[in-house]
Amino acid sequence: MGHIKLTNVTKSFGAVDVLHDINLEIKDGEFVVFVGPSGCGKSTLLRMIAGLEKPTGGELAIDGKVVNDVPAADRGLAMVFQSYALYPHMSVRQNLAFGLENTRMPKAEIAERIGEAARMLEIEAYLERRPGQLSGGQRQRVAIGRAIVRRPVAFLLDEPLSNLDAELRGSTRAELAALHARLSATMIYVTHDQVEAMTLADRIVVLRAGRIEQIGTPLELYNRPANRFVAGFIGSPHMNFLEGTLEAAGAGTAVATLKGGHQLQVPIADGTAAAEGPITLGVRPHHITLDAGENSIPAKIRLVEALGSETVLHADVAGQKILIVAPGQHNLAQGDDVRLSLSAAPIHLFNDRGIRLERAV
Amino acid sequence: MSRVAEFIFRRRGRSGWHWTDVFTWVWLIGGLFIMFGPAVWLVGSSFKSPAALAEFPPTIMPYVTQKATVEGYDKPLDLYEVTMPDGSKTVLAEVRRIGIVSQMVSPDKPTEIVKVKIAERTPVRTMSFATSNYSEPFTHFDFVRYLWNSVFVTVTATLITLIVNSMAAFALSKYEFRGRTFAMLLILATLMVPLSVIMVPLYSIVSALGLFNNLWGVILPTVATPTGVFILRQYMLTIPDELIDAARMDKASEWQIYWRIILPLTAPALAVLAIFSVVWRWNDFLWPLIVLSRKELYTLQVGLSIYSGELNVQWHFILAMTVVTMIPVVLVFIFLQRFITTGIAGTGLK
């Protein structure tokens, strides 16, 4: 049905390599999100699956059939473009029908499919209008509708929400999730917004500079990021990174010394105990508590952002910037001294190459 | 109305006249005369009799000197208003003119000759439209035949021009291939070659193809124009590539992409090219004159040259028929200019 497999796929534009050795398997009915900073190659990867770009090397298979040389139209996929790319001179109905007419489908069936998609997306009221007369959100629905009527093996969505305002983006995101549940079709979704990735995905593929950094479920990526890049990219606000050094201290534990001399005991898997030396300690802003107890770290507040339900504190720990999200409201001001506790926090350790060190379980 | 007047007559100098106000009015009125003067003169003169055309100083509107038949004279005589020595004015008919003295008679007393200095008389003139300038060519000149030839050449050449040029422009704007820029530059370079340079080789080709004395011989050499390719290509470059990607995903063939996506979105540029092409082909004179030597194949412009003989140019017919040949071009412009608006290619996108 919608099983897509990429084996050692590479892509270069002239002398510039944009994708290196991509290996990825997408199961039927899965919602996979490609996420990464702009220019990481995620859109190119999607366009390659769509058939709009040809891979330079490697193999691309859909449902077990190699499709490297199959034109876009014959791959049975449908794509929703970032700009929507609706045909401006056709009415919404004609936009939806265009792809079906090209397959010489009988008129009655075209009408039936359009009616069904229009009901599903609630665009019946403006089927006779042209795209120029629609709002951004309506155009977005039409673009999705154009994909739905094709009944594709898989949907490819290229940053479909990036042109909507924040409120509409939230509700459309929920509708997309509902649509996926209803159609149970494979969906590949490209975004640079990690919130969209976290909320929609069955699995997330994190890309950087043309390479896959990590593939996993949203919570896997959140809880066990493979490296410092993934750790920093997934989660909002992003993870704090504190420089320090690591020394082994007996079986299964090590002592991390932060800049400024503060020491922390960290459990560490035996195999990685040899990673003594400079390390980066990662801790999520939500896991830091304001606590003047034993072994707390002194910090100075630089900025307070009171959001009502929670308070975002920007602070300095021995010259390193740190972000704390404290639940509730706090009577703090710039320049105040606080003490932070990491005792309740899951601490991530990254070696000097940014690779995560496994902790003792 | 008062608001319109207020808009038109407002000045930069609130109460007085700023020099830019004076300049603007002079510039615009001068421009109006330069632009419209010739057209008005053409239409006005097309209604003049040959005698009125030869008159100096020339007039815009067609005037004729009134004539009267006077007893005892075979031909009708020209009427003049004469200032008599006692200061009174009267209308007399001129019998003959000797030097600066004119011999005149009163239509009431045909026997009594009055001698008048020519400075003291002015012709009695009334406006008169010589509609025979228009009606006569239609009867003794094969106007309908020539009109049909012109319409056939113009319409066919314009349609082929639009299709051929838009196809070339589509390939040059939307396909990546080696030598694309070179091909475009080569096409543009042909702009520098004037017709007179290629006339002889072109004639050989047309003749070898057996298109001499054939309307297709007029049409085919003109259909591929570098200007047209350039206009359309520049416009097509502004059509987003994502639309073409979307069409490819929608199983559209390359022909469908061209015919159903690109062409409709290029409508404004096509309208511009259509106007150009119609004007070019309609006004073409030299090339049809070379290719067509049989009278029944003449286009209007070539047909009009019948009236300029070696010894005698029948300006009154030429002017009248020029007005007639102008009408279709003006109509085409009025009709097509509605389409020359900003394109809609971007409206399907965010």
For tokens 């379980």, name the residue. A361
Identify which of A329, A335, A342 has the alpha carbon closest to the alpha carbon of residue A316: A335
**One domain, residues A189 and A294:** no
Integer CA distances (angstroms), B87 to A7, B73, B78, B100, B106, in order: 114, 28, 22, 20, 17
* B172 shares a domain with B94: no
Phi-psi region of A25 (alpha: psi -120 to 50; beta: other; left: phi over 0): beta
- β-strand A16-26 against A277-283: which pairing, if any? unpaired
Contact B272, B230 (CB under 8 A): no
| Interchain CB distance below 8 Å, B248 and A52 | yes
Same domain, yes or no: B121 and B155: no
Q: In whole angstroms, give the CA distance from residue A281 to residue B21.
A: 75
From B343's Cα to the closest Cα of chain A, the distance in A is 10
B166 and B21 both lie in a single domain: no
Domain interval for residue A267: 240-357
Amino acid at A214: Q
CATH of the domain at A34: 3.40.50.300
Residue of A361, A358, A337 whose CA lies nearest to A349: A358
What is the spatial distance between Cα A53 and Cα A344, in angstroms, rounded to a whole number?
48
Find where tokens 């330079």 sit: A56
Per the prediction, chain A carries an average pLDDT of 89
Name all contacts of B310-314 with Cβ < 8 Å and 24+ positions apart.
B314/B50
Same structural domain for residues B121 and B265? no
Name the percent of chain B lying above pLDDT 90.
39
Question: Is residue B339 domain-shared with residue B297, that is, in the same domain?
Answer: yes
Task: Give domain status of residue B38, yes or no.
Answer: yes
Tell me, yes or no, whether B58 lies in a domain.
no
pLDDT band with cut points at 50, 70 and 90 for residue B154: very high
- Domain of residue B121: give its range: 63-127
Q: How many CB atoms lie within 10 A of CB B114?
A: 15
Highest mean pLDDT among A191-200, A318-327, B150-159: B150-159
- A229-256 pLDDT, tens digit each: 999 999 888 899 988 888 877 767 788 8
| Closest residue by Cα to residue B154 from B292, B271, B275, B330 | B275
Residue B158 distance to chain A (closest CA, Å): 24
Same domain, B332 and B186: yes
Give the residue among A181, A156, A190, A191 at the shortest CA–CA distance from A77. Answer: A156
State residue A110's pLDDT score. 94
- Average pLDDT (A214-228) is 92
Same domain, B81 and B142: no
Domain termination residue (choose one: A191, A217, A233)? A233
What token pair was written down for A148?
């739905």
Taken in order B268, B274, B279, B280, the sign of the CA dihedral is positive
Residues A39 and A132 reside in one and the same domain: yes
The mean pLDDT of A199-204, rounded to a whole number, is 93
CB contact B293 to A (< 8 Å): no
Q: Is residue B246 part of a domain?
A: yes
Last-in-domain residue among A233, A260, A292: A233
Provide the shortest C-alpha distance from residue B349 to chain A (in Å). Answer: 5
Which residues have C-beta within 8 Å of that of residue A102, sequence separation ≥ 6?
Answer: A73, B250, B251, B252, B253, B256
Say what the ipTM of the complex is. Answer: 0.83
Specify the higher pLDDT residue, B110 or B170. Answer: B170
H-type alpha helices, B46-179:
50-54, 132-140, 143-174
- The total number of structural domains that make up chain A: 2
Please give the average per-residue pLDDT across A24-42, as a whole number.
Answer: 92
Residue B54 covered by a domain: no
Residue B315 lies in a domain: yes
Q: Are residues A105 and A179 in the same domain?
A: yes
| Better pLDDT: B234 or B129 | B234
Q: Report CA-CA distances (Å) from A258 to A278, A280, B167, B303.
A: 10, 9, 68, 99
Identify the CATH number of the domain in which residue B142 sits: 1.10.3720.10
Which among A186, A218, A233 is the end of a domain? A233
* Residue in B with minimal Cα distance to A136: B350
CATH number reported for the structural domain that contains residue A334 in this entry: 2.40.50.140
A-B Cβ pairs (cutoff 8 Å, strict): 87
Q: Give the global pTM.
A: 0.79
Give whole-number Cα distances, B157 to A233, B269, B289, in Å: 61, 17, 17
Residue B49: inside a domain: no
Instruction: Give how many domains chain B has, as a whole number.
Output: 3
Contact across the interface for A52 and B346, Cβ inside 8 Å: no
- Average pLDDT, whole number, for chain B? 86
Q: B55 lies in a domain?
A: no
Contact assessment for residue B244 and residue B257, using Cβ atoms and an 8 Å cutoff? yes
Return d(Cα A89, Cα B265) in angstroms, integer.
7
Tell me the pLDDT band of A271, cut-offs 50, 70 and 90: low
